[in-house]
Amino acid sequence: MRHVYQRKYPEYYNKIKFYIGDVRDYESIAASFRGVDYVFHAAALKQVPSCEFYPMEAVKTNVIGSNNVINACVANHVKKAIFLSTDKAAYPVNAMGMTKALMEKNVIARSRQMLENDPILCLTRYGNVMASRGSVIPLFLSQINEGKPLTITNPKMTRFMMNLDEAVELVLYAFEHGKQGDLFVKKSPAATIDTLADAILDLKNSSVGKTIIGTRHGEKQYEVLITSEEMAHAESLDGFYCIHADNRNLNYDNYFSKGNKELDMIPSYTSSNTTILNKEELKTLLKTLDLFKKED
């Protein structure tokens, strides 16, 4: 890996230090935090089938590993740490989402324990990044190149559409604005899988067509980025939502004696109730991806 980055970023190589470690092993990562001001934690076991078959391995990486990162940040007086999460943590239905949800809960719980000079712990949450490894866009392009029809699980299924630059923008926004326990979500448009397939077929000038194979096990009809319960204390910002950590403690008497009827009226923020792109709008967005730029 070191040599890969050396070739890819030769102008920065002398400014980069490389460490071998495992977030599951606190001792192996602790030294790499010395002298560090800011941490961006993206290490995760996030392949859904792998987590389904080996859920305890997901716990070790996604939950215990992220807690090791927090401990290393505290021990080395890091100023701020941003933890990257996923839409699958909202109303989780699989082991990967459940462990990422527990990661979020632990980051927020630990943020309540931080003292004045301790690190600021905050989070970002987003769906699949367009054209990222393992996502549907590279699959569709591969099927076109092989002359095969595009396989669609459910044509009405919706997904948020965010490119890599927008994902980085979200992380940087959290870096600049995050307070203790904040969780940030970027407001993003969405599209149906059917529209996405049609847009790609148009851009590739392909006639391979589409075939519907049915929804796969554990797959959601739409992505949820903010639950209804979280929307109750989410702040709407310019292009983002911020879910502020509440001030709960172990004195639960306050929550038995009174409630909030308004909570029943707040919908979740999902890929089905955000702005839905049509085919032409989606084609314009797809053209911003390197996979399509290379063909211009």
Active site residues: 88
- The amino acid that residue 14 corresponds to is N
Q: Is residue 137 within 8 Å of 131, Cβ to Cβ?
A: yes
* Phi-psi region at 102: left, alpha or beta (left = phi > 0; alpha = psi -120 to 50): alpha
What 8-state DSSP symbol labels residue 149?
Answer: P
Measure the CA–CA gap between 73 and 278, rounded to whole angstroms: 44
Q: Is residue 182 within 8 Å of 237, Cβ to Cβ?
A: no
Q: Is residue 57 within 8 Å of 65, Cβ to Cβ?
A: no
Measure the CA–CA gap between 235 and 255, rounded to whole angstroms: 22
Question: CA angle at residue 39 from 33 to 45, to 5 degrees?
Answer: 100
Residues 6+ apart with CB under 8 A from 157: 192, 193, 215, 219, 221, 222
30: which 2 tokens?
């602790």
CA atoms within 13 A on the CB side of 88: 21
* Phi-psi region at 215: left, alpha or beta (left = phi > 0; alpha = psi -120 to 50): beta
Q: Is residue 222 within 8 Å of 272, Cβ to Cβ?
A: yes
Q: Find, among 217, 256, 250, 246, the residue nearest to 95 by Cα.
A: 217
